[in-house]
Structure 1
Amino acid sequence: MTSPRPGGLGNAHRLPEEYEQLRRTVEEFAHDLVAPKIGEFYENHEFPYEIVREMGRMGLFGLPFPEEYGGMGGDYFALCLVLEELARVDSSVAITLEAGVSLGAMPIFRFGTEEQKREWLPRMCAGEVLGAFGLTEPECGSDAGGTRTTARLDEATDEWVINGSKCFITNSGTDITALVTVTAVTGRKPDGRPEISAIIVPSGTPGFTVAAPYSKVGWNASDTRELSFADVRVPAANLVGEAGRGYAQFLRILDEGRIAIAALATGLAQGCVDQSVSYANTRKAFGKPIGANQAIQFKIADMEMRAHTSRLTWRDAASRLVAGEPFKKEAALAKLYSSEIAVTNAREATQVHGGYGFMNEYPVARFWRDSKILEIGEGTSEVQRMLIARELGVPSN
C-alpha cells in the first residue's frame, strides 16, 4: 500500500485509493453484517464467533503482516482504518480485532523467532486462532514494572516454570484462543530492579487456568478474563525476544496499540454522530424534527468537530509509524484526545436521544457503556499526560 503521508502530513485526510477501497469495504461489512446481529450478542454477553470468522476470511487479522506469514502485506495505518469503521457500529468487534492483532500477533511478529512466527502467525492472520497478551495484574496496573508473576528456568528440563496471575486480559478465553504471551520476572538486574521477559503460554497448558468471563459495564460481546499460572511449564524456546527485554518490548507494543485505540475511539465518536443525525431527522417533538432546534444542531456540530479532529490525530500518529518516524508523543496525544472525546460524544448522543438513549435497543446506549474503558485501557489518561509531558522535556520525579 502507498503511504498516506509520503512527504509530511500533507493531505492526510485524502486517502490513497487502496486505503479508501478498504475503508468502504469494511464500512459495508460493519453495516450489513455486524449492525443487525451485534445487539443480541452484546445483551447476551456472547462472543460473536460468526462475525470473527468472517473478519478472518476478509483478511482483517492479517492486515499489517507480510504475505510470507499469511498476512495481507498492508500496514498499521490500514489496520486503524478498519478499526475506526468497525467501532462506528460496535466496539466489542473492534476491540477483538485490535487485541488479536496488536496484542496477540504483533509481539510475535516484532520480537519472535522465525520458528515462532511460522508456527503461530499464519493461523492468527487467518483469524483461525486468537492470541492474547498477559500484562496487567491484580496489584499491578499502570505500574507494569511492578510485575509479580515469575518465570524460573529449570535447566534440567530446559523449561520455564511460571507462577502468578493476570487480569483484564482480552481474547484470553475464547474457544479459538491459542496462546497468551505473558510478562514475568525472570531475574534481577544489578541495581535490584526486576528483569522482565515475555513468554508464550499455549492454551491448555497444565497449570494454566482461565477464569470465567468478567461481568463488565461495556464491551459485552468481547472476551475478557483473569488468568492464573501454577507451576506452568513451557519450553525455554517459548521466550519472545531477549530475556530481560520484555518490559521494553511491551512499551513498543503499547505505543503502537495506543494509535489503534485512538482509531477505535474515533469510530465510536463518529458512530455517535451518525446515530444522532439520523435520530434528529426522524424524531419529532412539538410538530417538527428535533434537529430543527438549534440546541440539538449545536450538540451534533460539536460532536462532529471532535470526531473530525480525533481522526486527524490518529492518522498523523499512524502515518509517522509507517514512515519509520518517531511517534511516541503523537500516539499518546491521539489516545488521550480520542478516548476523552469518545466519552463526551457518547454522553451527548445519549442526551440527543433523550429517554430512548437510555434504552439498550438503541446503539448509543451501547456506545455510552463502551466509551469509558477507552480512557483506561492501554494506558490511562493520566499516563498519557505523563508521557506527553516527558516527551516535551518537562521535568519528572
Structure 2
Amino acid sequence: MSKKVTKPSFSKALFSGLILEDLVFPFPKMDKEEAENMDLIRESFEKFAEDKIDPAAIDEKAEIPSEVIDGLKELGFFGLNTPEAYGGFGLSATAWTKALEMVCHADPSTSLLLGAHQSIGIKALHLFGTEEQKQKYLPRLVTGEMIGAFCLTEPGAGSDAAGIKTKAVRDEAQGCYILNGSKLWITNGNLADFFTVFAKEEIAGPDGDPHDKITAFIVTRDMGGVTSGKPENKMGIKGSATAAVFFEDVKVPFENVIGERGRGFKVAMEVLNSGR
C-alpha cells in the first residue's frame, strides 16, 4: 500500500521557527503581456482617480459618488478578474491584487466596492457556477450593470458559518425555493442586485431522515422580497456600503443553486479562501 505524500505547511512551520522559503519563492510574477496590460490599466485609472476620486469627500459623505461608480464601469473595473470569454479582463491573481492595491491607494472604500464584488460577491459563480449561469449573469456583472454581494454573516452566525438560520424551502409545485432570513454586515449590501446567498434546506440523509444542510443560491433583487437596511455608520472606510439584507418569501428558481445541494459550506469556504 502506497504511503500518502503530504506537502509541508508554510504556516505550521512558522510556529516551529522555520521559514520554508521554497514554498513561497520565487514570488509570482506577471508575464510580459499582462504586465504591459497592467501598465495601461494603471495609466487610465490614475488619470481617472486624479480627476474624479476625492477620498476625503467620500469618507466625509460616507458614499461613493455615482459618477465614480459609472466611471469605473466605463473603465471595465467591475470585470478585472473575470475571464475574457465573459467580457472581463481576465487578470491573474497577481495582477488583480496589484489592481486592488492601486485602487486602494486612491481610496480604500472604492477598493472595497470592487473587491467585495469580484473577490467574493460573484466568486462562487466563477468557481462553481454552471455554464448557463455564467452566460446569464457574468456579462451584466462585468459591466457593473449588476453589482455583487456575498451574503453569509447573520445575527447569530459570523465565524461560525454552520450556524446560519436563513431557510430555503423547496417547492416542487412551483419549481423554486422559498427563501426567508436576514444577513448582516454585507459589503455592497444596499448597492447590489446580485447576491450569493447561503441558506439551510432540509435534505434527506443516508438514513432517509431530513437534515439541515447549507446550499448556495444566486438571488437577484428583481425576484422581489429582497430589501436592504440602512447603511452602517462605521469608524472608517465609510464610503463602502455595509448594510443588512433581508429576504422575505423570495422565490428562487431551482436552476439558481450554485454547486451541489447541501454543499454550500464548501462553496463558502472556497470563496473566502480565494478572496483572502
TM-score relative to the length of structure 1: 0.58
Instruction: Tell me, in whole angstroms, the C-alpha distance in 1 between the residues paired with 2:190 and 2:131.
Output: 26
- Residue of 217, 235, 249 corresponding to 1:217: 235
Question: What is the deviation of 1:154?
Answer: 0.7
CA spacing shift, 1:179–1:147, aligned 2, 3 Å: same
Give yes or no for contact 2:122–2:150 (8 Å, CA) kept in 1: no
Task: Specify which structure has the higher proportion of strand.
Answer: 2
Instruction: Report what 1:80 is aligned to.
Output: 97
Q: Is the 8 A contact 1:186 1:244 kept in 2?
A: yes
What is aligned with 1:168? 185
**Greater mean alpha carbon deviation, residues 66-75 or residues 141-150:** 66-75
CA RMSD of aligned residues (A): 2.4
Residue in structure 1 matched with residue 68 of structure 2 by the alignment: 51
Counterpart residue number, 1:230? 248
Q: CA deviation at 1:86?
A: 1.4
Mapping 1:20-39, distance limit 5 Å:
20-28=35-43, 31-34=46-49, 36-39=53-56
SS, match of residue 222 in structure 1 = coil
SS at match of 2:240: coil
- State the structure with more CA Rg: 1
CA 1:243–1:13: 2 relative to 1, 3 Å: closer
Instruction: Give the structure 1 partner of residue 270 of structure 2.
Output: 252
For 1:73 and 1:206, locate their aligned partners in 2 and report how far apart those are by CA, in whole Å: 32
Count the aligned residue pairs.
Answer: 250
* Amino acid in the other structure paired with 1:236: F
Cα distance, 1:160 vs structure 2? 0.5
| Corresponding residue SS for 1:141 | coil
Instruction: Indicate if the aligned counterparts of 1:213 and 1:223 stay in contact, CA closer than 8 A.
Output: yes
Residue 147 in 1 paired to residue 148 in 2?
no
Match of 1:127 among 140, 144, 148: 144
Aligned to 1:179: 194
CA distance in 2, matches of 1:60, 1:92: 14
Partner of 2:8: none
Give me the identity figure in percent.
Answer: 36
Following TM superposition, by how much is the alpha carbon of 1:105 offset from its aligned partner in structure 2, in angstroms?
2.0
Q: Is the 8 A contact 2:185 2:242 kept in 1?
A: yes
Q: Deviations over 1:1-39 (max 9, x none)?
A: xxxxxx985553765434444444454455543355232
The structure with more helix, counted as a fraction of residues: 1
- Mark the CA change 1:163 to 1:29 in structure 2 (over 3 Å): closer, same or farther: same
Is the 1:183–1:246 contact (alpha carbons within 8 Å) kept by the matching residues of 2?
yes
Given that 1:63 and 1:78 are in contact with CA atoms closer than 8 Å, whether structure 2 keeps it comes out as no
**How do 1:166-315 residues align onto structure 2 when only pairs under 5 Å count?**
166-174=183-191, 177-187=192-202, 189=205, 194-258=212-276
Amino acid at match of 1:89: A
- Structure 1: gaps of 5 or more residues: 1-6, 259-397
